[in-house]
A and B are shown apart, each in its own frame.
Chain A
Amino acid sequence: MDALLHQVLAGLATGGIYASVALALVMIYQATHLVNFAQGELAMFSTYIAWSLINAGMPYWGAFFLTVGFSFVLGVLIERVVIRPVENAPVLAVVVVFIALLVILNSVTGWIYTFTIKTFPSPFPNDLGFGKYMSPHEAGAIGVTLVVLLLLYAFFRFTPLGLAMRAAAQNPESSRLVGIRVGWMLALGWGLAAAIGSIAGMMVAPIVFLDPNMMGGVLLYAFAAALVGGIDSPGGAVFGGFLVGVLENVLGAFVIGNELKLAVALVLIIGVLVVKPSGFSGKVHVSRV
């Protein structure tokens, strides 16, 4: 029983990591209807920026918010400079651009900061008394993910800008007709996704240590999480993250063995796409052809 509890809590902790990255994936999908393969590397790069700031003597929260702001600008810039020119290209071309971004960010970071692992500080206190199963940072990171989720929900639900962004993604032409600047909405979506990604990165790094390949494995699980929950539903993505984390651990420890843990994520991705492509809480899209 103790072992099961330990696995479930450890699963929730890693699930929190998947959830935060899945949120960024959902964000970009909502804004652009594309899945960004470079999302993880973008988050990793932002985390290095935060690491540099903190090492230069800046207090944690100062570096945190500065990094979020910087990542937002970086996201907007990438959309304007790199994605814009291929806006009307076939999906495959865009995917190639995403993969190029992934490789470039990974090697540039390795080149600047080397591939040696680095420690990244946690803003949470060291000991809360339940450290045996879950570290205070892991608990704190889950909290941060939930707060980001709430903010996102409020943004899309209650602000005119959020409404405009949703409209721009779902029906660009009509949006243009009612005066929404669709191009800028897309750039804004990129900026927000990069900002959320940077928060995810800063929450993940204290757990897995900071290195240029930090997000490689995480991204795959985050895809599974986003798909399980529904790729266009932030709440679903977070739920999916926790589900994938717990399932992976419990199945890995007691049923299929550690060797097949990664397969759990892949089976989930394929299973969801075959059985229920919209996920648990995503919308079903019907388009007339």
Chain B
Amino acid sequence: MKLKLIPIAALLAAALASPTALAQKKYDQGASDKEVLVGHINPYSGPASGYGTIGRSIAAYLKKVNEEGGVNGRQINMITYDDGYSPPKTVEMARKLVEQDKVLLIFQPLGTPPNSAIHKYMNAKKVPHLFVATGATKWNDPKAFPWTMGWQPNYQTEAKIYAQHILKTKPNAKIAVLYQNDDYGKDYLKGFHDGLGAKAKTMIVKEASYEVTDPTVDSQMAQLQASGADTFFNITTPKFAAQAVRKAWDSGWKPVHYLNNVSIGVGSVLKPAGLEKSIGLITTSYLKDPTDPQWKDDAAMIGWTAFMKKYYAEGDLTDSFNVYGYAVAKTLVQTIKQAGNDLTRANVMKQAASLRNFEVDVLLPGIKINTSGTDFAPIESVQLSRFDGTTWVRFGEVMGK
């Protein structure tokens, strides 16, 4: 009975609703005929202020969109606040945006701890918490948190891809894992175990954790080396990544070395560790790197460079965070475009969950954005790359979904 009723009800609803829906515009707080008001939180000061340029490049992209006429005739205005990567401040800023500034949605707060702090608040208030800038897997949980969505490939997806690559190229590998003993490290570790499946127990010969308060990871590296492993999965943040890469080389251990995407900055990690010591490292990527010579004549990157020069002239043309900001802003614009004249929070969320094969030109070829009511993970494919002493060189197919 139930099954039969649904199409009838849907037909009735469509018949009743559609003529009015077309004529009538629907708005929630923060949207009007003239504008869509978007809230944004980013660290512009403090230890994570290096990410500040993401917020600036997003603002620059929205300026470009507005100058070109906006989206469906509306200007997208963004209010951006600094939380200094401090969760209590993120809470304060999120409340201010929702309750005083009355924004339609909050876009791209950065970092796992800041987003965790406002996760429940955003869902209790039923305000879209869109495309958060962190790789934690928990943002993809539409059942429990239907108002929160991630954007970049999450840690578990990434770790599974390393696991697949190991299973394919070195099925008898003896694997050592170094991981930071917190949510981030354990997220990667879980994905890696899941990726190896039943073979995880036999293939992983040693796991060693470190705390962020540890001065060095030398002791852990010595343990991993002593385990006799020939493959090494390095789940570390930049400082410890540089230490581990250097120590692996200095102690004469030459494993196949997988480095998580968190710490692949050439200037901020590999140079301090020593470029010659970093040759052969394997990681994943999903964005076109602005320093990679192969994109010199690529239309998308030429477009990005022109955009940077016109709208964000003080921005660094070698910083891939500016490509990231550009790409994620395009995803937001697409979502608002799809929402049409129904700018309610519910519809914005529904549209964010209805991105189909959406292509952002600065993502690597073959990587498309797909979401659905049960899949809140926009980017789920990446490509492996290997460091050749000066730059990351992509190899193999695009992997993942």
Contacts and interface: CB of A to CB of B under 8 A. Distances in A.
B48 interface: yes
Given A117-B239, A208-B215, A259-B211, 13 more contacts: A10-B218, A14-B215, A14-B218, A111-B45, A116-B267, A208-B239, A211-B239, A212-B47, A249-B219, A253-B219, A258-B181, A258-B210, A262-B214
B210 A7 contact: no
B219 A10 contact: yes
B213 A217 contact: yes
Interface size class of B (residues with CB under 8 A): 35 or more
A94 to B, nearest CB: 25
A139 to B, nearest CB: 13
Contacts of B334: none
Interface string B192-232: 00000000000000001111111110111011011000000
A216 interface: yes
Interface string A61-91: 0000000000000000000000000000000
Nearest to B272: A119
Contacts of A131: 250
A123 interface: no
A218 B219 contact: no
A133 B251 contact: yes
Contacts of A14: 215-216, 218-219
Given A209-B242, A262-B214, A7 B48 contact: no
Given A110-B46, A220-B213, A262-B211, A118 B219 contact: no
B47 A115 contact: yes
Nearest to B253: A132
16 contacts: A7-B219, A13-B218, A17-B215, A110-B46, A116-B50, A117-B239, A117-B269, A117-B272, A119-B271, A208-B215, A208-B216, A212-B47, A217-B213, A258-B209, A259-B209, A262-B214
A110 B47 contact: yes
Contacts of B267: 116
Q: Which 3 A-B pairs have the closest CB atoms?
A: A217-B213, A3-B226, A6-B222
Nearest to A131: B250
A115 B49 contact: yes
B252 interface: yes
Contacts of A217: 211-215
Interface string B270-296: 011000000000000000000000000
> Which residue, of B47, B225, B243, has the highest number of chain A Cβ atoms within 10 A?
B47
B357 interface: no
A139 B220 CA distance: 19
A119 B181 CA distance: 25
Contact of A216 (B48, B213, B220): B213
Nearest to B209: A258
Contacts of A133: 251
A208 B243 contact: yes
B238 interface: yes
B181 A259 contact: yes
Nearest to A250: B219
B390 interface: no
Contact of A253 (B209, B223, B242): B223
Interface of A: 2-3, 6-7, 10-11, 13-14, 17, 107, 110-111, 114-119, 131-133, 135, 204, 207-209, 211-213, 216-218, 220-221, 248-249, 252-253, 258-259, 261-262
Contacts of B269: 117
Interface of B: 45-50, 181, 208-216, 218-220, 222-223, 225-226, 238-239, 242-243, 250-252, 267-269, 271-272
B214 A261 contact: yes
Nearest to A135: B250
Contacts of B271: 119
Contacts of B243: 208-209
A2 B251 CA distance: 13
B215 A114 contact: no
Given A116-B50, A259-B181, A207 B216 contact: yes
Contacts of A132: 250-252
Contacts of B46: 107, 110, 115
B48 A2 contact: no
Contact of A118 (B48, B49, B181, B272): B272
A208 B218 CA distance: 10
B216 A117 contact: no
A111 B47 CA distance: 9
A116 B47 CA distance: 9
Given A3-B226, A118-B272, A258-B209, A218 B49 contact: no
Nearest to A118: B272
Contacts of B272: 117-119, 209
Given A13-B218, A216-B213, A217-B213, A114 B50 contact: yes
A211 B49 CA distance: 14
A115 B219 contact: no
A118 to B, nearest CB: 7
A193 to B, nearest CB: 20
Contact of B211 (A118, A211, A261): A261
A114 B181 CA distance: 25
Contacts of B215: 14, 17, 204, 207-208, 217-218, 221
A30 to B, nearest CB: 25
Nearest to A249: B219
Contacts of B268: 116-117
A15 to B, nearest CB: 11
A20 to B, nearest CB: 12
Nearest to B268: A116
Contacts of A7: 219, 222-223
A115 B218 contact: no
Contact of B219 (A11, A107, A111, A207): A11
A71 B45 CA distance: 27
A240 to B, nearest CB: 16
A111 B181 CA distance: 28
Given A118-B272, A209-B239, A221-B215, A253 B47 contact: no
B320 to A, nearest CB: 14
